[in-house]
Amino acid sequence: MQPTLVILAAGLGSRYGRLKQMEAVGPHGEAIIDYSVYDALKSGFGKVVFIIKRDMETSFRENLMARFEKQIEVDYVLQELDMLPQGFALPPDRVKPWGTAHAVMVAESSVKEPFSVINADDFYGFEAFEIMQEFLSSDRKETDYGLVGYKLGNTLSEHGTVSRGTCEIDSDGYLQSVTERTKIGWEGNNIVSYEDGATVALPDDTTVSMNMWGFSPVVFDQIKEGFRNFLDEKGDDPKAEYYIPTMVDQMIREDRARVKVLPCDASWFGITYREDLEKVRASIREKIEAGEYPSNLWA
């Protein structure tokens, strides 16, 4: 059974200022999403499911869906604020999305096979998809999940701080915990995290999550259970979000899942700030010149 790729594309890109998921970075108008789908198809994924918002549905269908449908099976799901478990009502002041774990939860109707989750605006590289496809196709327990782990120094922006999940890993390569750090950046030649008024130095080889997870369909029931608990505790907070790392961290602590960290030496790049765009385009050109991608991706 070929695994499915779930792409989180509902974010509005508040720091970037517009829908960066649609930004052209390739020579023939390709977005970062195009390269993710291309790499997924090349590495053996059989289907792609996009999570989007209703207000971007028309633009998404017109700009992206058409170029994928002839390449691989494609579906999409709308993430809406009122998609809540039975017994819960949407708070009247809620306008912020419920978070990445909620986004995965709403994909249940379209995903029946092992699957990987990625962000729409992150370039992961073919190596990462190959590693994840091999993991998802392996013989393992249904509650043995995977995470592609990057080296922190390969994942930063030159133009500001970024959010990264720093990982604690045991001697067997399994994730012990993941801590979401919302402000990591360069300070001179050093990498630091700015949290709660303190500055903490981080080694450049610290393993971090770039939100490339591998799951089995049984995770949907686990997410729904965790989301109910989240709503009980924080549902009235208009800014609270239920993130994948939070969900996974809780499952590990409760011994309801194991997560194998899959090391990857590739360099990530993405569009966090407007100033990142030209570097992303230059990186794509370099990869085309090196023969890693054709100039016209879908020709």
State the fold for domain 4-289. Spore Coat Polysaccharide Biosynthesis Protein SpsA; Chain A (3.90.550)
The string of DSSP codes covering 10-64 is: ----TTTSS-GGG---STTS--HHHHHHHHHHHHT--EEEEEE-GGGHHHHIIII
Q: What is the pLDDT of residue 17?
A: 44
pTM of full prediction above 0.85: yes
Domain ranges across the chain: 4-289
Which pLDDT belongs to residue 225?
Answer: 94
pLDDT at site 285? 96
217: tokens are: 């369909």
Q: What is the pLDDT of residue 11?
A: 65
Block means of pLDDT (10 residues each) for the chain, 299 residues, are: 93 50 85 94 96 84 80 92 90 90 95 96 94 97 97 90 91 92 90 87 94 97 94 92 91 95 91 86 96 94
What is the amino acid identity at position 49?
A: V
User: CA-CA distance, 244 to 92, in Å (whole number)?
Assistant: 25
Q: Which tokens belong to 98?
A: 């419920």
**CA–CA gap between residue 165 and residue 243 (Å, rounded):** 11
C-alpha torsion sign, points 31, 99, 198, 177: negative
* pLDDT at 20 (0 to 100): 61
Cβ contacts of 267 within 8 Å, gap of 6 or more: 125, 154, 155
Q: Which is nearest to 242 in space by CA: 121, 105, 110, 112?
A: 105
DSSP at 108? G
Q: What is the pLDDT of residues 19-32, one digit of tens each?
A: 566 788 999 989 89
User: Residue 168 in 3-state DSSP?
Assistant: strand
